[in-house]
Chain A
């Protein structure tokens, strides 16, 4: 049941993560919850690929991670957007809009 959702383009997951982190620093669990909530439970993030994605983003320098206390007083790894991450988010969003608009046009004319 999840396969169609996890098959989301890799870039899409990255985009969602960046967008989510644009609001505030968050830990992995929080990110997955937030995406689910905001998308009205349409988008469901496969947690097995969430963490590799986060590590990948960190390696690219778009997010930073720090350990901090979470709301339930546990230590959790918080991710926050870097300046480069913000730039990336802007570009990706732009790109996404363009592509989805284009797809919409194609679908509309078909």
Chain B
């Protein structure tokens, strides 16, 4: 095997030398033979004749030697390549058109494959990431499992699990970091000491946390995220060993993490659990109901996912039995989710849909180029026939055609790669709206391989189609040598079939794009239930280590609100816990309604939010009944609540909810409903409002996001507000400044961009399909020139000829559209999840798309038709 390879390679690399050697060897043999014969007394001429006679054909022997070198296929390939290149050079327009079409087809596929590969296929950037799971728990009715974990919960799962190798915790806090020129708010991931070991993350510099560093009394340490290290510390490793003050304690930086997906959230720094003053509060640690953490785990080697799932369910059942007061009555469960699915849940359907659409683009591009090749072949019938007559096998001719098409496809692939490479940054920005893995998208070896593969495959496919049509035509072509352009019925049918399928596929995409555009428009037109214009939101965090009492915090926010309202340009200001489109997860909790006997299992749930007086006026939510919260609803006043319209309708339809009382703690205390407000699309403009309960801010919580309606441009008030916060307390940092208008457009952006991308793909396919149709019609007119000439001499008017050609083209288009509509009906149903406010069968969209397509198709047929009508019958008949 090895000898064979070495031999072939040697012959291949030393082609010239090998040829010379062969020649010398054989010549040496003959000379020797002649010498011997001369010695035996023959004349030199006779000896030469005899030697050659004995030897047989020298050239044939050489050929056979070369054959036995095993490098033969390369000769053929080289010849094919030369011929292909020559053929393509002779028709640069044709070649360019093919390469351009293929570049588009391969380019979009490469680009989208790089996205799908980077996000969905490649291994997680965590060591052994496939065995990482996220643990969730909650009420049995809550399929998501939104309940956070308490220290006690985690300890129990860790102790009782048979299938989880390690169980680690995570929660995010916002702390104030002192020790740099300005107080800085840092998003802090608070984790178990072995969190990074479980995730398989090695530090870029320094170290991560050591065993025991999350235990009580350990010296506080910090690990920086890569982004924060770059942005705030200039990527200077001297930061390791430096000390910063957080929560009134010195924390020493011990390491820097490599770039990682911003998951579970984007964090600036990480600290061990013991360093977080909330997490390590002894009362909190002892309280099973004090829940704030997420839990990650690694499956034990050999433990299957299902097995682990059964394991945690069993633990949940045990805990619910043992501590009935600490877990939701009426069913408590826990479940696992694979981390890799968790990271890409939102991205997967969209990206796969786009990749499928790009596959269709390539299909159409292929069909188009195959058609172009077929037309080209028409002009090369003679060449092929002669080659066949001279002994080229069908295989050899097929290879020739496929070499040509593959050459084109590779050129297209190279150009497509350039497209994908250019689009990379745009795609990363796009994908980042769906998944924290977006940064992993790159044009790497896997993508290169993919491009090479689809290029070669494409070349073989569209090269084989014309080759198939060409079979068995040798005899006829040679006989028909007089005819200028002979065309078989079969081949004409094949070309028509290609065009019809192009039209059908393009129409599917066009309709899909139409439905998505309508959905995007519908979402943008949705009444969000609030007025987003000129509303500024701003997170202000208090330095918890100095604001140890709720009274202090309340005082701070009271001053902040009062002073904000006094600022020029501020219409009103309020505080809110959860505001519309703030990207927080829904917070559903069960509640009781006074006077109603509801079994615990059927306890109603609603999404909880908290708002201060003036909140609804500030963001523009209408009051439907009762009254808004006021300053009189302070912490000593009776507890009040407001409900949204959905909730009012669900539980008090036909009655007035105002004055009714509800309880969130099993009836210990009751809050009176004082008003009903309109529904707000809190979690997405395309998501129904759902039931919502608002509690009053000083009564249930003391802090919140500052929400300000401004008279003019919100940005102009921002600086004044920041100054105000600094004046009240310079150690309380401001973050997350945005406007509701921005939040709204951020919320619309993913759908808008997906629609844009999809529409781009659709337009591409339509353009390619229409150009294919135009090409077919032009060829058909050329082929039928003499027939048209005859018709005209027999009295057909140019108008009739025009309509004849148009009818022929549009008949194909109609057939394609009918097939496409059928396909679209099936496929758009699959894509129903991407639609909003429009049915997958929306007749208007289908009608408009077909009208558009027909208009474009008519334009494409018009030119060839006009040319046909303008034919001079005499001229045609004389030359034809």
Q: Quick one: which of A23-71 are within 8 Å of B by CB? A: 27-29, 46-49, 51-53, 55-56, 58-61, 70
Give the most central of B21, B28, B67: most A CB within 10 Å.
B28
Q: Tell me whether B29 and A52 are in contact (CB under 8 A).
A: no
Q: Tell me whether A51 and B26 are in contact (CB under 8 A).
A: yes
Q: B263 contacts the other chain (Cβ, under 8 Å)? A: no
Shortest Cβ gap from B49 to chain A (Å): 15
Q: B57 contacts the other chain (Cβ, under 8 Å)? A: yes
Pick out which of these stretches binds chain A: B1-9, B99-107, B276-284: B1-9
Shortest Cβ gap from B51 to chain A (Å): 9
Q: Tell me whether B56 and A61 are in contact (CB under 8 A).
A: no
Q: In the complex, which residues of chain B have a beta carbon less than 8 angstroms from the beta carbon of A75?
A: 24, 28
Q: In the complex, which residues of chain A have a beta carbon less than 8 angstroms from the beta carbon of B54?
A: 47
Shortest Cβ gap from B429 to chain A (Å): 56
Q: In the complex, which residues of chain B have a beta carbon less than 8 angstroms from the beta carbon of A28?
A: 25, 29
Q: Quick one: which of B428-466 are within 8 Å of A by CB? A: none
In whole angstroms, how far apart are the Cα atoms of A77 and B32 in the complex? Answer: 13
Given A52-B68, A74-B28, A46:B3 Cβ within 8 A: no
Q: In the complex, which residues of chain A have a beta carbon less than 8 angstroms from the beta carbon of B56?
A: 46-48
Q: A15 contacts the other chain (Cβ, under 8 Å)? A: no
Shortest Cβ gap from A68 to chain B (Å): 12
When C-beta atoms are compared, the residue in chain B nearest to A74 turns out to be B28
In whole angstroms, how far apart are the Cα atoms of A39 and B21 in the complex? Answer: 30
Q: In the complex, which residues of chain A have a beta carbon less than 8 angstroms from the beta carbon of B544?
A: none
Q: In the complex, which residues of chain A have a beta carbon less than 8 angstroms from the beta carbon of B21?
A: 77
When C-beta atoms are compared, the residue in chain B nearest to A76 turns out to be B28
Q: Tell me whether A52 and B64 are in contact (CB under 8 A).
A: yes
When C-beta atoms are compared, the residue in chain B nearest to A28 turns out to be B29
Q: Tell me whether A59 and B64 are in contact (CB under 8 A).
A: no
In whole angstroms, how far apart are the Cα atoms of A72 and B3 in the complex? Answer: 32
Shortest Cβ gap from B628 to chain A (Å): 93
Residue in B7, B22, B60 whose beta carbon sits within 8 Å of that of A48 in the complex: B60
In whole angstroms, how far apart are the Cα atoms of A51 and B29 in the complex? Answer: 10
Q: Tell me whether B35 and A72 are in contact (CB under 8 A).
A: yes
Report the count of interface residues on A (CB-CB < 8 A). 23
In whole angstroms, how far apart are the Cα atoms of A56 and B65 in the complex? Answer: 8
Q: A84 contacts the other chain (Cβ, under 8 Å)? A: yes
Q: B33 contacts the other chain (Cβ, under 8 Å)? A: yes
Q: B70 contacts the other chain (Cβ, under 8 Å)? A: yes
Q: Tell me whether A60 and B3 are in contact (CB under 8 A).
A: yes
Shortest Cβ gap from A44 to chain B (Å): 9
Q: Tell me whether B3 and A61 are in contact (CB under 8 A).
A: yes
Q: Tell me whether B25 and A59 are in contact (CB under 8 A).
A: no
Q: Tell me whether B28 and A48 are in contact (CB under 8 A).
A: no
Q: In the complex, which residues of chain B have a beta carbon less than 8 angstroms from the beta carbon of A51?
A: 22, 25-26, 29, 61, 64-65
Report the count of interface residues on B (CB-CB < 8 A). 28
Q: In the complex, which residues of chain A have a beta carbon less than 8 angstroms from the beta carbon of B22?
A: 51
| Secondary structure of the B contact surface, majority rule | helix
In whole angstroms, how far apart are the Cα atoms of A36 and B2 in the complex? Answer: 33
Q: Tell me whether B7 and A29 are in contact (CB under 8 A).
A: no
Q: B425 contacts the other chain (Cβ, under 8 Å)? A: no
In whole angstroms, how far apart are the Cα atoms of A61 and B68 in the complex? Answer: 13
Q: Tell me whether A59 and B28 are in contact (CB under 8 A).
A: no
In whole angstroms, how far apart are the Cα atoms of A9 and B796 in the complex? Answer: 74
Q: In the complex, which residues of chain B have a beta carbon less than 8 angstroms from the beta carbon of A56?
A: 68
In whole angstroms, how far apart are the Cα atoms of A48 and B30 in the complex? Answer: 11
Q: Quick one: which of B20-60 are within 8 Å of A by CB? A: 21-22, 24-26, 28-29, 31-33, 35, 54-57, 60
In whole angstroms, how far apart are the Cα atoms of A84 and B3 in the complex? Answer: 10
Q: Tell me whether B65 and A55 are in contact (CB under 8 A).
A: yes
Q: Tell me whether A52 and B28 are in contact (CB under 8 A).
A: no
Q: In the complex, which residues of chain B have a beta carbon less than 8 angstroms from the beta carbon of A48?
A: 55-57, 60-61, 64
When C-beta atoms are compared, the residue in chain B nearest to A47 turns out to be B55
Given A56-B68, A76-B28, A49:B61 Cβ within 8 A: yes
In whole angstroms, how far apart are the Cα atoms of A33 and B511 in the complex? Answer: 81
In whole angstroms, how far apart are the Cα atoms of A37 and B120 in the complex? Answer: 73
Q: In the complex, which residues of chain A have a beta carbon less than 8 angstroms from the beta carbon of B157?
A: none
Q: In the complex, which residues of chain B have a beta carbon less than 8 angstroms from the beta carbon of A47?
A: 29, 54-56, 61
Given A29-B32, A48-B56, A84-B3, A59:B24 Cβ within 8 A: no
Q: Tell me whether A59 and B7 are in contact (CB under 8 A).
A: yes
Binary contact readout B103-128 vs A (1 if CB under 8 angstroms, 0 otherwise) = 00000000000000000000000000
Shortest Cβ gap from A14 to chain B (Å): 11
Q: In the complex, which residues of chain A have a beta carbon less than 8 angstroms from the beta carbon of B55?
A: 47-48
Shortest Cβ gap from B83 to chain A (Å): 28
Residue in B2, B33, B61 whose beta carbon sits within 8 Å of that of A29 in the complex: B33
Q: In the complex, which residues of chain B have a beta carbon less than 8 angstroms from the beta carbon of A49?
A: 61, 64
- List 7 A-B pairs, Cβ < 8 Å: A48-B64, A51-B25, A59-B7, A60-B3, A60-B4, A61-B2, A77-B28
With A77-B25, A77-B28 known, 18 other A-B pairs at CB within 8 A are A27-B29, A28-B29, A29-B32, A29-B33, A47-B56, A48-B55, A48-B60, A48-B61, A48-B64, A51-B25, A51-B29, A52-B61, A56-B68, A59-B3, A60-B3, A61-B7, A76-B32, A77-B24
Chain B contacts to A: CB under 8 angstroms: 2-4, 7-8, 21-22, 24-26, 28-29, 31-33, 35, 54-57, 60-61, 64-65, 67-70
The 7 closest A-B pairs by CB, nearest first: A61-B3, A48-B56, A52-B64, A56-B68, A55-B68, A59-B7, A48-B61
